[in-house]
Amino acid sequence: MFLKKMPFLIFIIFSFLHAQSDPFENPIILYDETDESIGVAIADYNNDGWDDVFITRGSSVDGTPRTDLLFKNNTGTLVFEGTAGLTTMNQLSVGASWGDYNNDGYLDLYVATAKPGAFPTIPIPNNMLYMNNGDGTFTLITTPTNPLALDSIDSRAVGWGDRNNDGLIDMFINNGTVNFGWNQQQPNSMYTNIDGINFHRDSVSEVGYIVSDSSKPNPPDPFSYKTFAASFGWCDYNNDGYADIFNCEGFHSGGARNRLWKNDHGNGFIETLNHVFWDTTGGIRYASGGCSWGDVNNDLKFDLFVTNQIDSPAGNNFLYLNYSTTTVDSFYFLRENAGDLFNDWFYSQGSVMADFDNDGDIDIYTTSRGSDPEDLSRLYLNSGYPDYQFSAVSSVVEQLDPGDGTERGNGRGAAAADINGDGSLDLVVAHIGKPLLYLNKGSSYNFVKIKLQGRSGYTNQMAIGARVKVIANIPEQGGKTRQIRQVAAITGALAQDSPTLHFGLGSAFNIDTLIVEWPVSGQVDVYTDLPANDTYNLMETEPSALNENNKLEPENYSLGQNYPNPFNPETNIPFVLPRAEHVTIELFDLKGEKISTIYSGQRLAGKNVVRFRPKGLSSGVYFYTLKAGTFKQTRKLMILK
C-alpha cells in the first residue's frame, strides 16, 4: 500500500497518454435550448432510489432571465419535470445545493441568484429556499424573519454543511459581482440553522473573518476577505470531526487569494497555510473558480484540486496533497511532477473527482470556461498504485459539443452520479448552450455504492459530512486498498455530486471492511465481508449512552467490554481517549493469531463506540485489542449463532 509520508516520496506524474480509453458515450442533450446553463445539483429529491438533476440557468442574450431546469429520473432516464415548483421563477440562477435543512427526510433546495454581468443595473433578486413538501412538489420560503430566504448579495456558490455539529445543516455562500470588463468583491455569508426552520446570519464574532466585509486587525489588504464570485468546498481535512472550508476568491486581473479555513470545533474558523495557497513562485497567478476534495492516492486523506481561470495568460490548475493531522496543518503543492494537470492552461472552472473507470482510484474531470477552440475540458484518468499517474485522455467531453454544432466549449458546473443505475458514474455538464449528459460505457470492473441516512437529533438526515471507508483486495491497486469518500453538498464549481457514495473495486468481488464515520455522534459502524456490485442503504443507529456525553475529556485511556456479549449479529466496542488520537482495534482467535483489523483511524477525545458487524466468523470466544499510542488493552468477546 502506497502511503503519503513525505513530499519527496511522492511520485505522481501527469502525462498526456492517449492509450487509455474514453469511458463516456456521446452526449445526450437534456434540454433543447441554447441559453446558458450554469450549475448542476444531483440528488434523489423524491426518495424513489434514483438520482434526479437540477440545473440552474442564466439569462438570454437580451438579458431576459430564464427558468431553471429539473429532471426527474424515471428508472434511468432523465425527464423534464415542470410541475414540482422549481422551474417557474425567472431569474439568473448560479449555484444550487440539495440538503434536508428541517430533517424531515425529504431533500430541500437552495438556489443562488445574481444579476447579469451584461446588465449591471438589473436589481439582484433574493436567493431561493425551496422546502420539499414530501409529495413531489416544493414551496418557496419567503418568511420575512428568515434571512436565508431573503439573501440578496449577488450570490454565486452555495453549499450546506454542519459547521457546529448540532445535527442541523448550515449554509455558506460565496458572493461576488461579475461584469463585463470588471468584477467586484462581495462579502461572504454564513447562515446558522437554529431549529430546522429559522436561520441566523452570522457575524465576524461568531464565525471569524470568513464572512467579513472589512478585515481583521492590521491586514495587508482591507478587502482580502471578500470574493470575486467563485466556489468553495466543505471537508474535514484534518480528521478532527469538524467540517472545514476551502474558499476560492475568483477571477481578478491582478490575481486573487484562495483561503483554507479550519473549523475551530464549532467556534468559528481559523485561517491557515496562506504560505501554501498564496505561493506565487515561478510567476503563478491565482484566479480560482472552483475546488474539489478527494483522496487521489488512497491514503485515507482528502487531497485538494483547485481550478484556475486566468486567461491572460491562462492559469494553471493545482493539486495539493494532504499531510495534515489533528495537530498539524500540512498540504504539499504538487508542482514539479504535475505534468499536464499543472501545465494545461485551459481557463478551467468546474471539476469532478470520481472513479469513472471503476479501477479503485479517483480520476479528475475539468470544464473549460473558455470559448476558444484550444480551451478544452479535460478528463484525466488515474493509473493508481504505485505511481498514481494521471493521463489526459482523448474524450468526447473535451469540446462539450452536443452533436448539433450549436455550441462548443464554455463549460460551467459538472457533477457525477450513476444516472442509469449500471454501477458506473455518469457525468452531467452545464455550459453556455444545451446541458449535456454523458453516460458511462461501463467496464468489467466491480463497484459498490453506499447511501447513508442520518438519525434525527444526531447527524443530519442527508448525512452531509459523514465519511465512508472501503477496504478491499484490489489486484489493480497492488492488493489491499483503502478508499474514502464523504457526503458533500458542493463540489467543483457551482455543482453537487450525488450523495450516494460510489467506489470502484477493480476485479475485487468482495469488500473486506466497510466503515461509516458519523460526524455528530462520533459513532463508527464497521461491516465486514460484503459482496460487490450492490447498493447498501445504511442508517445511523441511536448512539449508545456511553457515547452521549462525548464533550468530557477523561484523563486516562480505557477499553470497555463489548455489548451485547455474547452477540449476533452485531456488537458495540466502547473505549475512552484522553485526547484525539489514531486508534487501532484488532480481532484475535484463542491461539492469539490475528483475524482482522476491526477499525483503524483517527478518533476524538472522550467516549467512543465502534459498532462491529462481522460476517464469516464461527461461534466462539475471541479477543479484541485496542492500541492508541503506547496504550494497549485486550478484552474477550463471544459470538453465538
Question: pLDDT per residue over 234-248, tens digit each?
Answer: 999 999 999 999 998
HEC profile of 123-143? CCCCCEEEEECCCCCEEEECC
> Mean pLDDT across the chain, nearest whole number?
86
Evaluate whether 280 touches 291 at the Cβ level (below 8 Å): no
Q: Distance between CA 259 and CA 460 in Å, rounded?
A: 27
Evaluate whether 422 touches 357 at the Cβ level (below 8 Å): no
Task: State residue 179's pLDDT score.
Answer: 61
- With a CB cutoff of 8 Å and minimum separation 6, the contacts of 121 are none
Task: State residue 150's pLDDT score.
Answer: 82
pLDDT band of 339, cuts 50, 70, 90? low
**What is the DSSP-derived secondary structure letter of residue 446?**
E
347: left (phi over 0), alpha (psi -120 to 50) or beta: left
Radius of gyration from C-alpha coordinates of the chain: 24
* 587-591 long-range Cβ contacts below 8 angstroms, 24+ apart: 587/614, 587/622, 587/623, 587/624, 588/622, 588/623, 588/624, 588/625, 588/634, 589/620, 589/622, 589/623, 590/620, 590/621, 590/622, 590/623
Share of the chain above pLDDT 90, in %: 59
Cell of 189: 455569508
Cell of 227: 470574493
Distances (CA, A) of 326 to 99, 264, 576, 580: 28, 11, 17, 7
- Residue 204 DSSP SS3: helix
Of 485 and 339, more confident: 485
Biggest CA pair distance of the chain: 79
pLDDT at 392 over 80: yes
- Count the neighbouring beta carbons within 10 Å of the beta carbon of residue 329: 18
pLDDT at 555 over 80: no
pLDDT at 136 over 70: yes
Amino acid at 83: T
**For the segment 611-629, what is each residue's pLDDT rounded down to a tens digit?**
999 988 999 999 999 999 9
- Count the neighbouring beta carbons within 10 Å of the beta carbon of residue 327: 9
Amino acid at 29: I
Q: Distance between CA 92 and CA 220 in Å, rounded?
A: 34
Least trusted range by pLDDT, from 333-337, 414-418, 614-618 = 333-337
Least trusted range by pLDDT, from 191-200, 247-256, 471-480 = 247-256
Task: State residue 437's pLDDT score.
Answer: 96
- With a CB cutoff of 8 Å and minimum separation 6, the contacts of 50 are 44, 73, 74, 75, 76, 421
Task: State residue 58's pLDDT score.
Answer: 80
Evaluate whether 189 touches 141 at the Cβ level (below 8 Å): no
Please give the average per-residue pLDDT across 38-44, as a whole number. 97
Of 153 and 174, more confident: 174
Cα–Cα nearest to 138, from 184, 93, 84: 84
Q: Distance between CA 457 and CA 166 in Å, rounded?
A: 8
Tell me which architecture the domain covering 35-438 has in CATH: 7 Propeller (2.130)
Burial of 356 (0-12, 13-18, 19+ CB in 10 A): buried
Cα–Cα nearest to 39, from 494, 417, 504, 510: 494
Enumerate the domain spans of the chain. Answer: 35-438, 446-486+500-524+532-539, 558-639
Cα–Cα nearest to 236, from 163, 185, 173: 163
**For the segment 259-313, what is each residue's pLDDT rounded down to a tens digit?**
899 999 999 999 999 888 887 776 666 778 899 999 999 999 999 999 887 654 5
337: left (phi over 0), alpha (psi -120 to 50) or beta: alpha
pLDDT at 108 over 90: yes
Strands (E), 441-500: 446-453, 467-474, 479-486, 495-496
pLDDT at 406 over 90: no
pLDDT band of 32, cuts 50, 70, 90? confident
Phi, psi of 269 (to 5 degrees): -130, 150
pLDDT at 478 over 60: yes
Distances (CA, A) of 440 to 207, 334, 356, 421, 555: 42, 29, 8, 11, 53
Evaluate whether 110 touches 96 at the Cβ level (below 8 Å): yes
Cα–Cα nearest to 156, from 10, 312, 290: 290
Task: State residue 54's pLDDT score.
Answer: 98
Q: Distance between CA 584 and CA 601 in Å, rounded?
A: 7
pLDDT at 427 over 90: yes
Of 153 and 41, more confident: 41
pLDDT at 60 over 70: no
Record the pTM: 0.89
Task: State residue 573's pLDDT score.
Answer: 96
Beta pairing partners, 161: 170
Q: Distance between CA 203 and CA 152 in Å, rounded?
A: 17
pLDDT at 15 over 90: no
Of 45 and 154, more confident: 45
Task: State residue 17's pLDDT score.
Answer: 39
Task: State residue 476's pLDDT score.
Answer: 96
Task: State residue 528's pLDDT score.
Answer: 92
What's the CA angle centered on 302, arms 272 and 201, to 5 degrees?
55
Q: Distance between CA 426 and CA 447 in Å, rounded?
A: 14
What's the CA angle centered on 8, arms 316 and 274, to 5 degrees?
50
pLDDT band of 16, cuts 50, 70, 90? very low
Fold of 558-639: Immunoglobulin-like (2.60.40)
Task: State residue 565's pLDDT score.
Answer: 95
Beta pairing partners, 52: 43
**For the segment 556-582, what is each residue's pLDDT rounded down to a tens digit?**
899 999 999 999 999 999 999 998 889
pLDDT at 50 over 80: yes
Evaluate whether 263 touches 190 at the Cβ level (below 8 Å): no
Strands (E), 285-372: 290-294, 303-307, 318-322, 331-333, 348-354, 363-368
Please give the average per-residue pLDDT across 356-365, as a whole number. 97
pLDDT band of 117, cuts 50, 70, 90? low
Cα–Cα nearest to 175, from 160, 163, 157, 190: 157
Q: Distance between CA 406 and CA 32 in Å, rounded?
A: 10
Go through the chain and tell me how many residues it has.
641
Q: Distance between CA 319 and CA 315 in Å, rounded?
A: 13
Beta pairing partners, 428: 415, 437
Cα–Cα nearest to 175, from 131, 243, 124, 133: 124
pLDDT at 13 over 50: no
615: left (phi over 0), alpha (psi -120 to 50) or beta: beta
Report CA 527 to chain centroid distance, whole Å.
23
**For the segment 495-510, what is each residue's pLDDT rounded down to a tens digit?**
999 999 999 999 999 9
Burial of 340 (0-12, 13-18, 19+ CB in 10 A): middle
